[in-house]
């Protein structure tokens, strides 16, 4: 029962709509009314500017980190002498936080696309692989200003880089599942990328 409480708590934390709260409380702006109408860091930057965009990014990443930490805590309580058990619980906590972010109980089970929260999860589980894919993301976004292109490319690379680094099979499977999740959540962005209509990462204000 205690284990389920930890996982449920990870989901609840993931469900907290950081971008919506930061926009409304500090900028009196509902991000769902402007730009891409997404509550993630990219739209926060697009609508509100760099500082709130970074604040949303940090908050959403924090949800992923905390989700994995709660999973680790539950795993250590359930199977303190079984490292593989702890890894599975960490993955479960990360998945719960990711599910909460994308299907928030506070937003009628709607939410963001999971990139920043997934980045937080990955940072806890595989920091070196995170560094590699983050560099790839930065290069792509820096050259094209298309965050969605960088996010999808980086996500697809995650399981590949994990395999190259010799990570355990459960982590590679998680990386592949997370990559698929990100791609599916970005299907409309991919369609706009193909059509040449995708919004770039630039501060536009309330448009």
Contact predicate 30/23, CB 8 Å: yes
Is residue 74 domain-resident? yes
Is residue 60 domain-resident? yes
Tell me: do 130 and 105 sit in the same domain: no
Tell me: do 102 and 17 sit in the same domain: yes
Contact predicate 8/1, CB 8 Å: no
Is residue 207 domain-resident? no
Q: What is the pLDDT of residues 183-207, one digit of tens each?
A: 998 999 999 999 988 888 765 666 5
Tell me: do 45 and 84 sit in the same domain: yes
Phi, psi (degrees; rounded to nearest 5) at 133 = -70, -30
Which among 110, 144, 166 is the end of a domain? 110
Which pLDDT belongs to residue 79?
Answer: 72
Tell me: do 84 and 178 sit in the same domain: no
What's the CA angle centered on 149, arms 146 and 122, to 5 degrees? 115
Contact predicate 125/94, CB 8 Å: yes
Domain total in the chain = 2
Tell me: do 69 and 138 sit in the same domain: no
Which pLDDT belongs to residue 1?
Answer: 65
Tell me: do 92 and 9 sit in the same domain: yes
110, β-bridge pairs: 104
Q: What is the pLDDT of residues 65-81, one digit of tens each?
A: 999 999 998 888 877 77
Tell me: do 5 and 94 sit in the same domain: yes
Tell me: do 55 and 154 sit in the same domain: no
Tell me: do 7 and 97 sit in the same domain: yes
Q: What is the pLDDT of residues 113-163, one digit of tens each?
A: 889 999 999 999 999 999 999 999 999 999 998 999 999 999 999 999 999
Tell me: do 24 and 81 sit in the same domain: yes
Tell me: do 61 and 157 sit in the same domain: no
Tell me: do 130 and 106 sit in the same domain: no
pTM of the entire predicted model: 0.90
Which among 52, 82, 110 is the end of a domain? 110
Alpha carbon of 194 to those of 100, 170, 173: distances in Å? Answer: 29, 33, 28
Domain span at residue 141 reads 126-201
Q: What is the pLDDT of residues 24-60, one digit of tens each?
A: 999 999 999 998 888 999 899 989 999 999 999 999 9
Alpha-carbon span 7 to 193, nearest angstrom = 36
Which pLDDT belongs to residue 111?
Answer: 87
Give the tokens for residue 44: 């926060």
Is residue 174 domain-resident? yes
Which pLDDT belongs to residue 205?
Answer: 60
Which pLDDT belongs to residue 75?
Answer: 86
């Amino acid at each position: 029962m205690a284990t389920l409480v930890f996982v449920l708590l990870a989901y609840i934390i993931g469900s907290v709509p950081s971008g919506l709260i930061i926009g409304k409380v500090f900028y009196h702006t509902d991000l769902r009314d402007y730009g891409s109408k997404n509550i993630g860091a990219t739209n926060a930057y697009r609508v509100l500017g760099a500082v709130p965009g970074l604040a949303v990014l940090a908050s959403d990443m924090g949800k992923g980190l905390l989700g994995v930490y709660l999973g680790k805590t539950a795993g250590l309580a359930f199977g303190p002498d079984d490292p593989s058990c702890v890894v599975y619980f960490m993955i479960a906590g990360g998945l719960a936080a990711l599910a909460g972010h994308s299907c928030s109980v506070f937003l009628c089970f709607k939410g963001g696309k999971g990139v920043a929260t997934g980045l937080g999860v990955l940072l806890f589980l595989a920091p070196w692989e995170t560094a590699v894919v983050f560099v790839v993301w930065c290069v792509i976004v820096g050259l094209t200003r298309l965050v969605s292109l960088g996010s999808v490319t980086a996500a697809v690379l995650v399981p590949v880089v994990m395999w190259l680094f010799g990570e355990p099979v459960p982590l590679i499977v998680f990386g592949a599942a997370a990559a698929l999740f990100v791609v599916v959540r970005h299907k409309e962005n991919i369609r706009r990328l193909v059509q040449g209509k995708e919004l770039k990462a630039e501060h536009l204000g309330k448009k």
